[in-house]
Amino acid sequence: MLVALATALLSGCSVLVPAITTQEREQMAKLDEMEMFKGQKALVEPLTLYEAMARAIKYNLEFRAKRMEESVAKSEEELFQLDMLPKVLASAGYTNRTGNAGSVSQSLTTGIMSQDPTTSRGTANGTMDLAMSWNMLDFGVSYFQARQEGNKRLIQAEQRRKAAHNLIKDVRFAFWKAASAQWLEKEIAAVLQTTDAELALARQVENEGLRSPVHALQFQLNLLDIARQLEKTQADLAVAKEELAALINLEPGVSFRLSDDSGDMISFQKLSMPLGALENMALSLRPELRIEQYQARVEADETRKGMARLFPGLELSVSENFDDNAFLVYQHWAQAGARLSMSLLRTLNAKPQLDLGENRERLVQIRRHVMHMAVLSQVRIALHEYRAARSALQRVVMENKVRRRLQNDIAFRTELGLDSQFNYVQTAATSALGRIQRYEAFARYQSALGRLYVSLGLNPVDDKELDADVPHLMRALRANDSRCQEMIFFTSEKSPMVDVRVVPPLSLVELTRIDVAPSSKTNAVASSQTETIVSSKTDAVAFITPVSVTSSRTDPVALPKVDPVPVARMVTVPLPKAVAVTPSRVVPVPSAKATAAITLAKVSVVPAPKIAAVPTIRVKKDVLVQSSVVPVYVLGRKPTAMPVGERRNVRSSGTRTAAN
């Protein structure tokens, strides 16, 4: 019977853990997916930068795990604080036996054993007691343990701050990469399509021998290099949206767009704080240094806890007891006591315990010094990277302006037949690649700005705002970002991120016939016009200062203030009154047939074309002289016509300046 009972007990103690089935895994995956995206606000409007940051703070799974770790540390702190309280134990018991607990006794003096058995307890017995005890040694150890757990909770809070810094930095970079991908997606595809078409045409030209083989192959090689760079950029940008979606915990497969007004302006921000002030800020705000300081407290309390265990332990106890034994005189009684205990062998560990504590504290101090130096280095490196990214962005913006002007000039030369279509296509592709590089440079600049914020330890949002909803978080993030920029930067110098376009386009007027007086000269013709250039973006507006057009030689060519005339029509210019024109005033001339000079009616803003000079024309009376007509490539439109007169010097401080 005993063998059977033992076998049954052993069989019951053996535990078989079944493997998770495929069906259970599938169910678990579905439940996890529902929990991952549960309670998230739907993304309806185009995503802005600060909304992306707010969603990352609210929904990012890794950041939520960091916040949960902080909550666990807080619960552990509260649990260990309860260990300092006295121990209160309530117990109750019941026993029953088959026979009475009878016994006989023997006299110690005579050695005579009694013949009649006696008992002092019945066959059934119940007991109850309520006891409270407090050990001073356990209280001291629990006190230091609770302090350690409190510091560990603060460490978890700093770990959460560090995770927030890195999360916002990653969101900032991923957002601008995704924005670049969205803005450049169609342009890259169009340029690649044009490049492929021109490559096919170049191969045909090479096969037919219409161009030099060296030039044809060089042209193909240049286009292939541009196409390779474009495809590499396209591949890099293709995953940008997926990275951003993962950071904001957006459900896979959900389509979203970024706000079009997120990148209209480039802010070239100059630091207003000196390097020493930035380093002091980092040393006081960086979570890594605070973690090391809290860790030093933990190690110091670990040493104190080890030393406390070497002291004697004094335990005080008090209890209330009840026993239903009928043989007891007092079945209900109270009891109090004190007990002193000490481990004698543990005292031998005093010296090693002290040495261990000192070494731990010294190690923490050295680690803090290492982190101190690392923080200083990171601030300097982040500052250099920010300045380098800022300078690179400025260079790329300037380079794109030059590329745009070069493209317009080559387009102008191509229309005149002075340059080849192949050269224009190559220049246009290079210009498109430059625009792509500008957006990439802007994303790197934003990433460098994020690393600078992280190196300084600037909080993206206050701790009390973490549980707010997404709109409130957006406002808090925007306000906090503005405060940080005002604190460490001068006022931003802004330039348009999107190309400025002339709206509406200006028209040109063609002079086909000119009436001049015999053997007459006119003074220089001066004209100026203020032109407003407005971007298609609502917040990118540029203004052109007055553009002065001044001839450098005597000029018989004049255009009256008349309505624009369609191209290719011949018109005779009426001379209502002969006047002599100076740059500052108009003076009547006695002779009505002496000379005529009329102010130009319109000035066209184009990418700085040059107007060829024409010497003074001397003709007889009433002779009509037809002027030359030159096609001009104006802002990507079809060629129109403009008169050729004296060479003019054009000076302006505007974004797009040129005049004829």
Q: What residue numbers bound the domain in which 331 lies? A: 45-91+127-499
Q: What is the pLDDT of residue 537?
A: 37
Closest CA to 302 of 347, 350, 353: 353
pLDDT tens digits along 179-234: 888 888 888 888 888 888 888 887 887 777 766 778 778 888 888 888 888 888 77
Rounded mean pLDDT, 336-365: 85
Average confidence (pLDDT) over 71-75:
90
pLDDT-based confidence at 350, cuts 50/70/90? confident
pLDDT at 384: 92
Rounded Cα distance between 525 and 512, Å, is 19
Residue 501 CB neighbours (<10 A)? 15
**201 exposure class (CB count in 10 Å sphere: 0-12, 13-18, 19+):** middle
Which range, 154-163, 202-211, 617-626, has the best average confidence (pLDDT)? Answer: 154-163
Is residue 160 scored above 90 in pLDDT?
yes
Cα four-point dihedral sign 154, 155, 160, 164: positive
Question: pLDDT at residue 517 above 50?
Answer: no
Rounded distance, CA 155 to CA 296, Å?
11
Q: Is position 644 within any domain? A: yes
* Same-domain status, 593 and 653: yes
Q: Can you give the pLDDT at residue 4?
A: 66
Quote the tokens at residue 246.
């993962």
pLDDT above 60 for 445: yes
Q: Are residues 504 and 467 in the same domain?
A: no
User: Within this chain, do residues 441 and 584 fall inside the same structural domain, yes or no?
Assistant: no
At residue 452, the pLDDT reads: 92
More confident residue, 447 or 628: 447
Q: Would you state the pLDDT for residue 294?
A: 93
List beta partners, residue 321.
129, 333
Dump the DSSP string for 202-268: HHHHHHHT-S-HHHHHHHHHHHHHHHHHHHHHHHHHHTHHHHHHHHTTPPTT----B-TTSSSEEEE
User: pLDDT tens, 544-554?
Assistant: 333 333 333 33
Q: How far apart are CA 340 and CA 54, in angstroms?
A: 59
Lowest mean pLDDT among 141-155, 452-466, 512-526, 557-571: 557-571
Confidence of residue 2 (pLDDT cuts 50, 70, 90): low
| pLDDT tens per residue across span 317-339 | 999 999 988 888 888 999 999 98
**Nearest CA to 163 among 60, 245, 240, 246?**
60
Domain boundary pick from 435, 470, 499: 499
Residue at 15 is within a domain: no
User: pLDDT-based confidence at 372, cuts 50/70/90?
Assistant: very high
Please say whether the beta carbons of 376 and 428 come within 8 A.
no
Number of Cα atoms under 13 Å in the Cβ half of residue 140: 16
In a domain, 393, yes or no: yes
Residue with the bigger pLDDT between 573 and 405: it is 405
Residue 358 is assigned to a structural domain of this protein? yes
Q: Are residues 560 and 512 in the same domain?
A: yes
431 in the same domain as 511: no
Domain count for the chain, please give it.
2
Q: Which of 561, 550, 559 lies closest to 523, judged by CA? A: 550
d(CA 607, CA 409): 8
Residue 388 has pLDDT above 70, yes or no: yes
DSSP string, 13-67: H---PPPPPHHHHHHHHHHHHHHHTTTPPP--SPBPHHHHHHHHHHH-HHHHHHH
Whether residue 501 contacts residue 579, with contact meaning beta carbons closer than 8 Å, is answered with no
Cis link prior to 86 (omega < 30° from 0)? Answer: no
Q: Is 168's pLDDT higher than 90?
A: yes
Q: What CATH number is attached to the domain comprising 457?
A: 1.20.1600.10
pLDDT confidence of residue 378: 92
Residue from 550, 557, 558, 566 nearest 647 by CA:
550
Residues 569 and 624 in one domain: yes
pLDDT range class, residue 490, cuts 50, 70, 90: low
Regarding whether 594 and 630 lie in a shared domain, the answer is yes
Indicate whether 495 and 513 sit together in one domain.
no
Kindly state whether residue 316 falls inside one of the protein's structural domains.
Answer: yes
Q: What is the average pLDDT across 122-151?
A: 89
Is the predicted pLDDT of residue 618 greater than 80, yes or no?
A: no
Residue with tokens 């009616």: 601
SS3 readout for 382-431: HHHHHHHHHHHHHHHHHHHHHHHHHHHHHHHHHHHCCCCHHHHHHHHHHH
Residue after which a domain boundary falls, among 439, 468, 499: 499
Which helix or strand (DSSP H or E) is residue 379 part of?
helix 350-416
| Confidence bin at 9 (pLDDT 50/70/90) | low
Identify the band that residue 33 occupies on the pLDDT scale cut at 50, 70 and 90. Answer: confident
3-state secondary structure (DSSP) of residue 495? strand
What pLDDT, on a 0 to 100 scale, did the predictor assign at position 652?
A: 35
**Are 518 and 660 part of one and the same domain?**
yes
Burial of 412 (0-12, 13-18, 19+ CB in 10 A): buried
Q: Which residue has the higher pLDDT, 98 or 11?
A: 98
Domain assignment present for residue 5? The answer is no
Please compute the mean of the pLDDT values over residues 236-265 and round it to a whole number: 79
Q: Looking only at Cα atoms, what is the longest distance across the chain?
A: 172
The Cα-based distances of 190 to 25, 194, 361 in angstroms read 46, 6, 64
353 falls within a domain: yes
Output the pLDDT for position 407.
Answer: 84
Mean pLDDT, all residues of the chain: 73
Whether the per-residue pLDDT at 511 is higher than 90: the answer is no
pLDDT of residue 266: 53
419: burial class by Cβ within 10 Å (0-12, 13-18, 19+)?
middle
Instruction: With a cut of 60, say whether residue 526 has pLDDT above it.
Output: no
Instruction: Assess whether 304 and 343 both reside in one domain.
Output: yes
% of residues, the chain, pLDDT over 70? 70
Find tokens 């100059």 and name the residue.
270
Q: Which amino acid is at 115?
A: Q
Contact 146, 76 (CB under 8 A): no
- Characterize 126-158 residue by residue with b for buried, 16 or more Cβ atoms within 10 angstroms of its Cβ, and e for exposed: eeebebbbbbebbbbbbbbbbbbbbbbbbbbbb
Given CA atoms 395, 400, 402, 403 in this order, what sign does their dihedral have? positive
Does the pLDDT at position 590 exceed 90?
Answer: no
Beta bridge partners of 88: 132
Is the pLDDT at 629 greater than 80? The verdict is no
The string of pLDDT tens digits covering residues 630-642 is: 333 333 333 333 3
**What amino acid is encoded at 493 in this protein?**
E
Task: Check pLDDT > 70 for residue 622.
Answer: no
pLDDT band at 84 (very low <50, low <70, confident <90, very high): confident
For residue 161, give the 3-state DSSP assignment: helix
Which residues does residue 265 pair with via DSSP β-bridges, in sequence order?
496
Average pLDDT over residues 591-609: 42
187: closest CA among 426, 432, 537? Answer: 432
Q: Choose one of 454, 475, 499: the last residue of a domain.
A: 499
| Per-residue pLDDT at 382 | 92
Give the pLDDT confidence of 409-429 residue by residue, as tens digits: 888 888 877 777 777 777 887
**% of the chain at pLDDT higher than 90:** 18
Within the chain, how many helices (H) and strands (E) appear? 12, 19
Name the E strands within 532-622: 532-534, 541-543, 547-551, 579-581, 586-588
Of 291, 252, 256, residue with least CA distance to 43: 256
| Domain shared by 323 and 394, yes or no | yes
- Same-domain pairing of 282 and 341: yes
Indicate whether 178 belongs to any domain. Answer: yes
